[in-house]
């Protein structure tokens, strides 16, 4: 019997086709993902609007939850746009509301805040303003943290795909300021031209980990920071010189060294490579000096509106001082300084405090003092604050304030408390605690700081009225809307 010739093995590995589910979307979750039910399991679906019927491809099946992404829309919502503005939308999945019409995005965010407040009976009567729409819904991000990688020999500069460490190469993000996209394009080009090694987290080797770009929209200048796995003067200096040659708007280049194996972006040491040590920016009524690791809101127009609202709501009277907790580089503090007898800012990041002090001097304010340290510990001591305390402002991280901080503020009995928050749930929790300690919440004003994403900023105004009888918990009622 003649042996049959063996067929050559295929060079391509055929992956099994992902399971597809036909779903009716019931609502969206806090991440802007559609929610449906399949065989008793909760299904979260990227790119799915409430009321839509979609065919979704399953990415992961867990014990109680299925993660999927819309493959085809069978019955589209009237709030779905005809075409998204980003070719990377489905692969990156960083902007969950990009396929929504903008008024629908605002309504979604408004309902998100209302639901958070309605969790607490103490907040039933809080007035909730309409979300302040952003005048710029694209190209608004003035800072970006981009991942550097290499795939099949090609340099990649982009974002991690949602829920993974797979880097999506993004050539032109529609949310980023155009100068950020120009910088990213030049760095990607130089990665290939010079064959610069990118960090590989699996093998824990390679040089370049992240590209951080901060832009001053008012001056059209940029600061760039290369995060590397080790101190490397030669390679980073070549990158910096090439970048400044191709993008002359880059006036400052730094290197941050992060040798850890974790997911944190910044290491402890930062070195200036070329150009100026800081970037000067204008937000609202003040000029701000920013360093490579300084925090500042990404949407400058909306940040300016928040700063002015905080100043108006504090309404400082003659001889009154203000306390600004989690003050960062002093954006809110400096807006209060024109009305205050004194402003005391407290911030845990020492570099931010140095910049806040420099910013007060640059803007001509001599009535500002900034202290570095933990807010809870500093509030436990005698504060270096002169004048009568008229207002306290808090702008904490996403997790909100520690209960001890809220108790310390209540003990001061300021006439006004203004709470700036980037997370509705932690805000609602802290507002309920403050009500129990003698404050009345007068209004919450949502601000769309992050168009095309589910995130929403909020500013709350509280007045100290003294401790009253505790509210009896009962069935939740909807929060009043303006």
Catalytic residues: 422
Please choose, from the candidates 447, 440, 479, 443, the residue with its C-alpha nearest in 3D space to the C-alpha of residue 460.
443
Token pair, residue 276, equals 């100026």
Select from 432, 430, 405 the least CA-distant residue to 420.
Answer: 430
Q: By C-alpha distance, which of 153, 47, 179 is closest to 169?
A: 153
The Cα 53–Cα 24 span in angstroms is 4
129 three-class SS: coil
* Tokens standing for residue 183: 């910088």
Q: For 248-283, give the DSSP string.
A: TTEEEEEEEE---SSS----SEEEEEEE-SSEEEEE
Alpha-carbon distance 17 to 57, whole Å? 9
Beta bridge partners, 27, equal: 35
Q: Do residues 392 and 321 touch, judged by C-beta distance below 8 A?
A: no
CA distance 456 to 454: 7
CA dihedral 331, 332, 333, 339 (to 10 degrees): 120
Three-state secondary-structure class, residue 86: coil
102-118 and 424-436 helices cross at what angle (nearest 10)? Answer: 30
Instruction: Give the residue carrying structure tokens 């105004």.
Output: 461
The span from the CA of 223 to the CA of 148, in Å, is 17
Which residue's entry shows tokens 């409430």? 50
């Amino acid at each position: 019997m003649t042996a049959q010739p063996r067929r050559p093995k295929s060079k391509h590995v055929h992956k099994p086709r992902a399971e597809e589910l036909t779903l009716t979307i019931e609502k969206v979750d806090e991440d802007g993902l559609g929610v449906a039910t399949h065989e008793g399991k909760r299904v979260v679906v990227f790119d799915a609007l409430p009321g839509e019927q979609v065919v979704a491809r399953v990415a992961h099946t867990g014990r109680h939850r299925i993660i999927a992404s819309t493959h085809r829309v069978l019955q589209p919502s009237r709030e779905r746009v005809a075409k998204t503005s980003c070719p990377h939308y489905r692969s990156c999945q960083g902007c969950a509301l990009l396929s929504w019409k903008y008024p629908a995005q605002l309504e979604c965010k408004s309902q998100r805040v209302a639901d958070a407040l309605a969790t607490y009976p103490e907040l039933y009567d809080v007035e909730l303003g309409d979300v302040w729409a952003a005048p710029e819904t694209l190209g608004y991000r003035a800072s970006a943290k981009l991942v550097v990688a290499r795939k099949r020999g090609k340099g990649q500069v982009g974002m991690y795909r949602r829920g993974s460490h797979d880097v999506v190469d993004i050539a032109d993000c529609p949310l980023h300021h155009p100068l950020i996209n120009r910088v990213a394009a030049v760095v990607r080009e130089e990665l290939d031209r010079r064959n610069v090694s990118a960090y590989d987290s699996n093998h824990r080797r390679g040089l370049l980990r992240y590209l951080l770009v901060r832009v001053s929209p008012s001056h059209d200048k940029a600061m760039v920071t290369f995060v590397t796995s080790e101190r490397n003067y030669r390679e980073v200096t070549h990158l910096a010189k090439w970048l400044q040659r191709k993008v002359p708007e880059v006036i400052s280049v730094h290197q941050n060294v992060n040798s850890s194996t974790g997911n944190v972006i910044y290491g402890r040491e930062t070195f200036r490579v070329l150009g100026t040590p800081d970037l000067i920016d204008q937000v609202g009524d003040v000029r701000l000096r920013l360093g490579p690791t300084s925090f500042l809101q990404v949407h400058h127009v909306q940040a300016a509106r928040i700063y002015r609202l905080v100043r108006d709501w504090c309404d400082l009277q003659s001889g009154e001082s203000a306390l600004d907790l989690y003050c960062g580089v002093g954006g809110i503090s400096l807006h209060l300084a024109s009305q205050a007898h004194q402003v005391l800012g407290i911030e845990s990041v020492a570099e931010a405090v140095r910049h806040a002090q420099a910013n007060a001097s640059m803007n001509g304010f001599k009535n500002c003092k900034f202290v570095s340290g933990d807010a809870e510990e500093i509030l436990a001591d005698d504060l270096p604050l002169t004048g009568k305390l008229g207002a306290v402002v808090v702008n904490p991280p996403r997790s909100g304030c520690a209960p001890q901080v809220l108790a310390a503020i209540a003990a001061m009995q300021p006439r006004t408390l203004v709470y700036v928050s980037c997370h509705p749930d932690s805000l609602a929790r802290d507002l309920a605690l403050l009500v129990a300690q003698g404050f009345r919440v007068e209004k919450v004003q949502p601000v769309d700081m992050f168009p095309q994403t589910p995130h929403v900023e909020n500013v709350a105004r509280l007045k100290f009225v003294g401790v009253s009888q505790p509210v009896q918990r009962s069935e939740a009622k909807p929060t009043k809307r303006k």
